[in-house]
Structure 1
Amino acid sequence: MDLNETAVFVKVVQMGSFSAAARSLGLPVSTISSRVARLEQRLGVTLLQRTTRSLLLTDKGQAYFAHASQGLELLHVAESAVRASLQEPQGKLHVTAPVDLGYDGLARLAGKFRAAYPAVQLELLLTDRQVDLVSEGVDVAIRVGNLQDSSLVARQVGVACWAPFASAGYLDTAPSLAEPQDLAQHVCLQFTALGKAQWTLSSGAQLETVPLGAQLIANDLNLILSMAQAHQGVALLPTYVVQSAALANPAATALVRVLPSWQAKADPVHLVYPRQRFVSATLRAFLDLAVADLQTWFSVT
């Protein structure tokens, strides 16, 4: 099927003559005539009856013109919609992020984006599983940790650092905490993902592994955060989660970073999206805003 032949036929009918269609399209009359003839030959019917003074549609030509003109108009509408989407953020944007990235920070990011681009419908999927962006139709992901899929485009926004925190209320009545091994004398609120038996802390090139008594273990980071705020012990928490919680609720119990020269794991944080020839205006707008916003959460390498 050659849509050029169809488009020329529709233009001839609309303009009322071969010569008028030729002038409109900027083509020789012979080219217009040959394309209509090829279309008729391919379809096996006569579409136009031509005389020296008039141009008449056959019944078959009338039916073909009705459908073809409508189809070409829909193609023009489709192309216009795509061009518009490349110029102005609009439509849907599907974003995924880990559950423990922090509800407050993500809520602020979503709020900023929605305020800037109200025509975009934003859908957030929070999950700890590795989402297949292409097969699941997800536009962009915030990922913490080393990347596995090299087929994705990645933009690093910083490093997620985990460190020990406690409330002043807990520290006022707890034993001294000057060295990592002192943690053995404390109530340690243990997030399952970081291990049940020990914590490993580093300070420059120095590495310390601290065995812990399993006083409390939980698989929910927000529960660990809440218990630390309730003066129940020392918790290993991402610095961005503590920062985000403080900004979201200034009246909540503040947490103090203990052993400030020591930290647990530090994971790179990336924005990743499927490799594509053309990045839509909607995705580009989210990437620009999210990079700037996420860099305020994380220490940038």
Structure 2
Amino acid sequence: MNVDIVRLLHQHLPQLYVFTRVAGLGSFQAAATALGLPRSSISKKVSQLEEALGQRLLQRSTRQLCLTDEGASLLVSAQSLQGVLDSAASLKMAQQAEPAGRVKISSSTLIGERYLLPVIPELRRRFPKVALEFNITDEVVDLISQRVDIAVRVGHLPNSSLVAKKIGEKSWACYAAPSYLARAKPLTNPRELTQHPCLFFKNSQFAMDHWTFANNDGDTVNVAIDDAICGDDGRSLAALAAMGLGVVFVDPLLIQPELAAGSLVPVLTGWRHPEASPIHLVCLGREARNRAVDAVWQYLGEAMGSLTVDG
């Protein structure tokens, strides 16, 4: 076969594969049964290949199929490539099929609970053949070594082979339970936090034990937090603060149920962290991700939307 024909056949690999199955099995129905496709789809793919080549490959009748001379010649040429055709066509047809496979998703605990998990039922409805594996942790996760396909990351990302889509921003402010504030010393200035038990995030790589504040006048204060209660699970810290154990420095985005219920209320309302950090959905580049990962990536980017709220 000349170069132009080879290129044309490459462009119509699924159709060529179907043609070889029809010719080998002797009928459209037998090929349809073997491939798990409707008979009409089999007939259409053969017609598409004939149109692309400008040649009749099969003579059809109500009782049998016969190869034309051109069809017989093509079948002989294709048989020498049958192993490649079988694997490559299967991959090509799988790409055109419904997304299927396993996708591993990583997120911090609070973002995972509040914003990732609620969109999973619809994701499963759309892609029932995609199996999901979750890595919900506040530890820093290496996507490559731990084989994570998609992750939610907070903060500015270093240059890497990952692609990122900004889905929101994370801010910080102080909150406490009304039961705690009823018995605690007044709290009107960030420097007074040294007189209050505080709850802060700490894991093996990072400790958020210095809280920075700015007010509307442009004043900035940095407070070193005493080691009262710390932990590596943001969900637990918010729950403990709601129990009246002290002041927590957290993104209002992630404690909306507690704020709505009144179990946490804002304190130091004239002060908040001077900078917001971006929230990204990150993933391997398109050339390195399969159809299942790409489908989940696209869905999460739309479903999680903008995570920024006023607090």
TM-score class, shorter? 0.5 to 0.7
Q: Where does residue 57 of structure 1 map in the other structure?
A: none
Q: Would you say the 8 A contact 1:160–1:299 is kept in 2? A: no
For the residue of structure 2 that corresponds to 1:109, the secondary structure is helix
Q: Where does residue 220 of structure 1 map in the other structure?
A: 233
Read off the aligned partner of 1:233 and give its amino acid letter. G
Please list, as runs of the form range in 1=range in 2, the aligned pairs for 1:81-92 lying within 5 A after superposition.
Answer: 81-84=94-97, 88-92=98-102
- Compared CA separation, residues 174 and 75, structure 1 to 2 (3 A): same
Q: Where does residue 236 of structure 1 map in the other structure?
A: 249
How far the C-alpha of 1:229 sits from its partner, in A, is 1.0
Read off the aligned partner of 2:193 and give its amino acid letter. L
Q: Would you say the 8 A contact 2:162–2:284 is kept in 1? A: yes
Range that drifts further, 93-102 or 143-152: 93-102
Number of residues of Structure 1 aligned to a counterpart in Structure 2: 258
Instruction: Decide which of 102, 113, 129 is 2:140's aligned counterpart.
Output: 129
- Compared CA separation, residues 30 and 299, structure 1 to 2 (3 A): same
How far the C-alpha of 1:141 sits from its partner, in A, is 1.6
Partner Cα distance (1:111, 1:34) in 2? 48
Give a deviation string over 1:94-144, Cα, whole Å, max 9, x none: 2222345343433213233223332321222234224234x6543322111
Q: Where does residue 58 of structure 1 map in the other structure?
A: none
| TM-score, normalised via structure 2 length | 0.65
Give a deviation string over 1:126-179, Cα, whole Å, max 9, x none: 34224234x654332211111013432211111111211101111112122222
Q: Where does residue 261 of structure 1 map in the other structure?
A: 270
How far the C-alpha of 1:15 sits from its partner, in A, is 11
- Compared CA separation, residues 273 and 216, structure 1 to 2 (3 A): closer
For the residue of structure 2 that corresponds to 1:23, the secondary structure is coil
Partner Cα distance (1:225, 1:118) in 2? 34
| TM-score, normalised via structure 1 length | 0.67
Q: CA RMSD in A?
A: 4.3
- Compared CA separation, residues 30 and 155, structure 1 to 2 (3 A): closer
Q: Where does residue 212 of structure 2 map in the other structure?
A: 200
Partner Cα distance (2:258, 2:306) in 1? 14
Q: Which runs of 5+ in 2 are unaligned?
A: 10-15, 27-52, 59-67
Q: Would you say the 8 A contact 2:212–2:222 is kept in 1? A: yes
How far the C-alpha of 1:29 sits from its partner, in A, is 6.2
Instruction: Decide which of 188, 203, 222 is 1:209's aligned counterpart.
Output: 222
Q: Where does residue 119 of structure 2 map in the other structure?
A: 109
Partner Cα distance (1:98, 1:106) in 2? 10
Q: Would you say the 8 A contact 1:158–1:298 is kept in 2? A: yes
Range that drifts further, 233-242 or 291-300: 291-300
Q: Which runs of 5+ in 1 are unaligned?
A: 40-63
For the residue of structure 2 that corresponds to 1:268, the secondary structure is strand
Partner Cα distance (2:230, 2:24) in 1? 76
Range that drifts further, 163-172 or 282-291: 282-291
Range that drifts further, 147-156 or 91-100: 91-100
Q: Where does residue 61 of structure 1 map in the other structure?
A: none
- Compared CA separation, residues 34 and 95, structure 1 to 2 (3 A): closer
Q: Where does residue 23 of structure 1 map in the other structure?
A: 56
- Compared CA separation, residues 148 and 299, structure 1 to 2 (3 A): farther
- Compared CA separation, residues 299 and 156, structure 1 to 2 (3 A): farther
Q: Would you say the 8 A contact 2:119–2:303 is kept in 1? A: yes
**Which protein shows a greater Rg?**
1
Q: Where does residue 178 of structure 2 map in the other structure?
A: 168
How far the C-alpha of 1:263 sits from its partner, in A, is 2.1
How far the C-alpha of 1:213 sits from its partner, in A, is 3.6
How far the C-alpha of 1:207 sits from its partner, in A, is 1.2
For the residue of structure 1 that corresponds to 2:102, the secondary structure is strand
